[in-house]
Amino acid sequence: MKTETVDGATLETWSVDEVAKAFEANEIVLIDVRTPQEYMFEHIEGALLMPLAFFKGDKLPDQVEKRIVFHCGSGVRSERVARAAIAAGVKQIAHMEGGFGAWKAAKCPYIGTNMATGAPQSVTPE
C-alpha cells in the first residue's frame, strides 16, 4: 500500500491483491464510483455504487468498523473521489490502484453481463 499525506489526512493507494484480500475478509467497504451504466454492465460483487457525479464526501459513514476503499475503471476517478473525501473532512481514505481494469487483469471474480440474454452472471476468469 502506498500512502500520501494530504492536508493532514492520509490517502492510501491499495493494490488489487490488498483490496481482494480485505474485501474477502469483510474488513472494508468497497465503493464503485463509476457510472450506473458501467456498474450494471460489470462490477465487483458486493461493491456499493456511489457515482462520481453524485459524490458527497460529507455523507460518507465513519470508518470505525470498516475502512472505505473507492474504485473506478482505471484508478483516476477513485483517486479524485478520495481527494474530495479528504477535502470534506475525512482523515483517512483509500482507493484501488488500476481500478476495475486491474481487478479483471488480476483474474478476480466479478459480475458481468451475458451478452446473449442481457442477464447478469458471475464471471470467474481462468
Q: Provide the whole-model pTM.
A: 0.94
Q: Which stretches within 25-121 are classed as H helix? A: 36-41, 76-87, 99-105
What was the pLDDT predicted at 58?
A: 87
The count of structural domains within the chain is 1
In this model, does residue 63 exceed pLDDT 90? Answer: no
End-to-end alpha carbon distance in the chain: 26
Q: Which residues are 76's β-sheet partners? A: none
CA quadruple 23, 61, 47, 99: dihedral, nearest 10: -80
Span 86-97, mean pLDDT? 96
pLDDT of residue 35: 97
Among 51, 96, 107, smallest CA distance to 74 is for 96
- The CATH number of residue 114's host domain is 3.40.250.10
Domain residues for the domain of 105 are 2-123
